[in-house]
A and B are shown apart, each in its own frame.
Chain A
Amino acid sequence: MAKLKREEWYDLTRATNWTPKYVTEEELFPEEMSGSRGIPAEVWETYDEPYKVVYSEYVETQREKDAGAYSVKAALERSQYVENADPGWVSTMVAHYGAIPLAEYAASTAEARMARFAKAPGNRNMAVFGMMDENRHGQIQLYFPHAYTKLSRQWDWASKAYHTNEWAAIAARSFFDDAMMTRDSVAVSIMLTFAFETGFTNMQFLGLAADAAQAGDHTFASLISSIQTDESRHAQQGGPSLKILIANGKKEEAQTMVDAAIWRAWKLFSALTGPAMDYYTPMEHRSQSFKEFMEEWIIAQFERQLIDLGLDKPWYWDILIRDLDITHHGMHMGIWYWRPTVWWNPAAGFGPKEREWLEEKYPGWNETFGECADVIVDNLLNGRPELTGPETLPTVCNMCQLPIVGVPGSKWDVKDYQLEYEGRLYHFGSEVDKWCFEIDPERYKGHLNFIDRFLAGHVQPPDLMGGLQYMGLAPGEMGDDAHGYEWVKAYSQPKTDAA
């Protein structure tokens, strides 16, 4: 049977739409799900996705990708990479697997919302593939860590984390629920695919893939590069939505969605990816610093894309650039100090040699974060380990759900942006987090962060043990120093390498 050439039918099928006869258009595409914003269906039909694919091509490519990643895993299984890897790198993987796979599953339903409710036929078509992509990402990233559950119960957090009230899980859920689970399909295309996936999954997947390859972890590197090729395709769904909104007088609303999603994604990554790249990954395997990745993938790339689309730089761009030197160091120090409250073993990453690297990449580190590190090291060297762990909770932001941190030491600058709204006092870690709340207070005002829950009596008994129980952290799961404090010894040895 003679087949039509692809170009003879492709444009017709990808843009197929129909006029509903049995229901109204409003019933077929309810506004709260579709989010067409009063822009007529004919305009949405002009949605032009830059990346075009048909089902048979999709299946063929995906089959090859899966075969590639699974065969690398099978081939390297006997090399016992994880058993022998640096514990800092293992922590990066354990943190990644807890934070990512179930968010991928959730993203599959966000894609499904576009596949069903987008008024743009091209968006519906692309989102079907996106939905299958995210399902694959969820499954493959549950399957890979499953092989290691025999090594430690922490690996089990790949499937467990999102079902708990562990604080980092609350933070991740808060962002993903906000950007992709509770928005209409146009907002999902913008906040999830454009703002989050274009920049930040590149960071997580290309950045960590580079580090993984350097660390010799070819299983992880091939897995996450295989995922990233899907991301870079389905991330292109937001651009055409933005073009339509901008051309139809909705630029301001589009800009607000982009700005809020980039900021919220940045905060989450400052806690999850920043510490992994600059502290957990062994120094010799770091391809770039977190700040360098951010500058390349977020600052430079987004700026270009936003301007090309006719949007502006987010109003807070200078604040973000300043915070690239601050926030993730604070998140790291907090995670290490409150280490029993996470499902991975944070590597301290501030031994003498690592501090040279930090000072080089972040001039001034030693007189700021280094001052806190000095006290921690002094306590560990002098038999006061009890002072290197928490007896209370860090103050948590009512937007990003992460600790409120800033510059310590001689340049001390830590701020709480407080807001009284309808008689309740809210705390925010930055002016931008507060701005996110003020865009739509109705949306956010009822949420209780970890401190609110603690003060409302949800955590019983109201102490650290009660807190760990509330977070679902059993013995064998709660974190401790990745290297068993071995790194402290380097401080007690006389310096022999002085010239």
Chain B
Amino acid sequence: MALFPIHSNFERDFVIQLVPVDTDDTMDQVAEKCAHHSLNRRVKPQPGKILRVRRHCDGEIFPRDMTVASAGLRPTETLDIIFSDN
């Protein structure tokens, strides 16, 4: 496990933010760490929806249990955190 900085582009927020995650984190954990800095601060929760992680540059949505280490991310790469039905 190692600290891994990413940039979080959280759906409905106005700004992108630096969020340190861990290479062992799953995408669900990444979404949760990003949510901490946006949700209920400047973004209203959306009951019934879950958060998914998407690569900002090409729109690839990562499986929820995929780890940061296996997603082939570049350090400081920007990720979209989006509200989703599934």
Chain A interface (Cβ < 8 Å from any Cβ of B): 329-330, 333-334, 337, 369, 371-372, 374-376, 379, 387-388, 390-395, 403-410, 412, 414-416, 418, 420, 425, 427, 451, 454-455
B18 within 8 A of A: yes
Known: A372-B42, A418-B57. A427 touches B78 (CB 8 A): yes
Give, as a whole number of angstroms, the nearest-CB distance from B29 to chain A.
16
Give, as a whole number of angstroms, the nearest-CB distance from B16 to chain A.
4
Query: Are A414's CB and B77's CB within 8 A?
Result: no
A403 to B, closest residue via Cβ: B15
Per-residue A-contact encoding for B37-50, CB less than 8 Å = 1, 0 else = 10011111000000
Per-residue A-contact encoding for B1-23, CB less than 8 Å = 1, 0 else = 00001010101111111110000
Query: Are A416's CB and B9's CB within 8 A?
Result: yes
B75 within 8 A of A: yes
Task: From the candidates B9, B12, B40, name the one contacting A409 in the complex (CB within 8 A).
Answer: B12
Query: Are B43's CB and A395's CB within 8 A?
Result: no
Known: A418-B57, A427-B78. A333 touches B7 (CB 8 A): no
Query: Are B76's CB and A427's CB within 8 A?
Result: yes
Chain A residues with Cβ below 8 Å from B12 are 371, 408-410, 412
Query: Are B77's CB and A395's CB within 8 A?
Result: no
Q: In the complex the two chains form, what is the Cα distance from A334 to B16 in whole Å?
A: 10
Task: Pick 28 A–B contacts, CB within 8 A, sort by A.
Answer: A369-B14, A371-B12, A372-B13, A372-B14, A372-B43, A374-B44, A375-B40, A388-B41, A390-B37, A391-B36, A392-B18, A392-B19, A393-B18, A394-B15, A394-B17, A395-B7, A395-B16, A403-B16, A408-B14, A408-B42, A412-B13, A415-B9, A415-B56, A416-B7, A416-B9, A416-B56, A418-B57, A425-B76
Query: Are B14's CB and A418's CB within 8 A?
Result: no
Give, as a whole number of angstroms, the nearest-CB distance from B14 to chain A.
4
Q: Which of B9, B36, B41 has the most CB of A within 10 A?
A: B41
Q: Which 5 A-B pairs have the closest CB atoms?
A: A408-B14, A395-B16, A372-B42, A416-B78, A395-B7
Chain B residues with Cβ below 8 Å from A427 are 7, 16, 76, 78
Query: Are A330's CB and B18's CB within 8 A?
Result: no
Chain B interface (Cβ < 8 Å from any Cβ of A): 5, 7, 9, 11-19, 36-37, 40-44, 56-57, 74-78
A388 to B, closest residue via Cβ: B41
Q: In the complex the two chains form, what is the Cα distance from A375 to B43 in whole Å?
A: 6
Query: Are B14's CB and A330's CB within 8 A?
Result: yes
Q: In the complex the two chains form, what is the Cα distance from A454 to B76 in whole Å?
A: 12
Query: Are A405's CB and B15's CB within 8 A?
Result: yes
B43 to A, closest residue via Cβ: A375
New A-B pairs, 20, CB < 8 Å, besides A392-B18, A425-B75: A333-B14, A333-B42, A372-B42, A375-B41, A387-B41, A390-B37, A392-B37, A405-B15, A405-B16, A408-B13, A410-B12, A416-B7, A416-B56, A416-B78, A418-B77, A420-B74, A427-B7, A427-B16, A427-B78, A454-B18
Q: In the complex the two chains form, what is the Cα distance from A329 to B43 in whole Å?
A: 16
Give, as a whole number of angstroms, the nearest-CB distance from B30 to chain A.
14
Query: Are B14's CB and A405's CB within 8 A?
Result: yes
Query: Are A418's CB and B15's CB within 8 A?
Result: no
Give, as a whole number of angstroms, the nearest-CB distance from A458 to chain B.
14
Query: Are A395's CB and B15's CB within 8 A?
Result: yes
Query: Are A455's CB and B76's CB within 8 A?
Result: yes
Give, as a whole number of angstroms, the nearest-CB distance from B60 to chain A.
14
Q: In the complex the two chains form, what is the Cα distance from A388 to B11 in whole Å?
A: 18
Q: In the complex the two chains form, what is the Cα distance from A393 to B13 in whole Å?
A: 14
Q: In the complex the two chains form, what is the Cα distance from A390 to B77 in whole Å?
A: 21
Query: Are A414's CB and B76's CB within 8 A?
Result: no
